[in-house]
Structure 1
């Protein structure tokens, strides 16, 4: 009688059976945009993203000080619409040329958008999952490669409008393999239109807007300390409330008769 041997398990290199990823590895993969092992490009992009986030956190408490003393510098560093309007108001009273306000505001809005475009080109759906938790936005981004090129180009131009998730749009452009030169031109066009609009409003307000900015500067220390305190206290309060809720739930379960 012939005895059949059971089929052997798939083997990897060297004849050894492949080792599955440990549960801990599979769990943290949900929080990274790449598939498989990270490459040098993946790590460089992730480091750049974290650097941009860190820069934003550092600049946040400094905004009230820079808004009144160096509004043009602030708009270049942050691309913030409030800084653009304030700089234009100072231009109205002769503190800075208006063309420099528009140029600095436009550059400030677009200077790091190429990075988001690159993440979309590198990671596709992975970066979209990191940027938004909206399933509708993820489904729409998933159809990026199927959209008509003119629709995607218009979306890049209009991404500067308030309420539009611009980072998702820029990542979609990279995912759809839009050329970087095309993306730059469209991004600059949208930023220039928005900067021109906000600068025009600030320039028209003139002295009244400057007085408001100087009032903010007078209380800049209070505003900055409040922002720093909020950044520290709010996460701590959330953790404390969560732990208190867990303890209360456990105590109620112990007291409940079985």
Structure 2
């Protein structure tokens, strides 16, 4: 109340957090959202360990489909310390580990999944519409070249589910696209040969310091972003 007895206007309440589902969350919604969040935390936890794990490229590639790990393995193939078919087989699971989750998100939540992944950007609606048109027209090609274009892969995978692409078609196209990226990384390492292996060993030797430095950079950046918002 003001001094003259008039009611003061109520402050506008902040909008509720955007959720990808409508109405009450079903068990599948909770599982899917939890799995997507867990996948992000999983990859984030592996970031500072990547330099150290370069000494064990097989593990690194299997855990996260690491490009640097595949380059190292390509060098090992060149000097006869690894088998090319085995390197390819080990690389595929890490590359495709979480892709189906984003397809499922688009399939289950539709455009709301795209909105969540894009965020509250002023041009979010236009970007979502453009992504829908591109996926409907060139969906198969977009998935194949996902690793070679600037649009985040998760948006392309979610759009594939949103536009009702069948799971087996998506997985086949994803396998082809992942194979192209794997071939590029292994081919680069093969061309470098022993140099690729030596570089990986040098990075791994100082991996602990690089990992700690990466953690510091991440925290400093988060602090800077948070301070800008206040």
Normalising TM by the smaller chain, what interval?
0.7 to 0.9
Alignment of 1:85 with 2:71, yes or no, is yes
* Paired residue secondary structure (1:164): coil
**1:28-177 maps to which residues of 2 (within 5 A)?**
28-30=16-18, 32-68=19-55, 70-132=56-118, 133=121, 134-135=123-124, 136-143=126-133, 147-148=136-137, 151-177=138-164
* Residues 144 and 173 in structure 1, CA contact (< 8 A), matched pair in contact too: no
Distance 2:174 2:100 in 1: 9
Distance 1:217 1:117 in 2: 35
* Residues 144 and 172 in structure 1, CA contact (< 8 A), matched pair in contact too: no
> Residue by residue, what CA displacement relative to the aligned partner does 1:92-151 show, whole Å, maximum 9, x if unpaired?
223321212122222211121111100000111111112224534311234368x24xx2
Q: Which runs of 5+ in 2 are unaligned?
A: 1-11
Cα drift, residue 87 of structure 1: 1.6
Task: Tell me which of the two structures has the higher relative contact order, counting C-alpha pairs closer than 8 angstroms and 6 or more residues apart.
Answer: 2
* Paired residue secondary structure (1:190): helix
* Residues 72 and 87 in structure 1, CA contact (< 8 A), matched pair in contact too: yes
Alignment of 1:186 with 2:173, yes or no, is yes
Cα drift, residue 239 of structure 1: 3.2
Which is greater in Rg? Answer: 1
Cα drift, residue 162 of structure 1: 4.4
> Residue by residue, what CA displacement relative to the aligned partner does 1:23-46 show, whole Å, maximum 9, x if unpaired?
86x82242x211222111111101
CA RMSD of aligned residues (A): 2.0
Cα drift, residue 241 of structure 1: 5.3
Cα drift, residue 240 of structure 1: 4.0
* Paired residue secondary structure (2:28): helix
Distance 2:185 2:224 in 1: 37
The number of residues matched between the two structures is: 215
Alignment of 1:27 with 2:15, yes or no, is yes
Distance 1:59 1:233 in 2: 19
Distance 2:26 2:205 in 1: 49
* Paired residue secondary structure (1:141): helix
Distance 1:239 1:161 in 2: 32
- Normalization by structure 2: what TM-score? 0.85
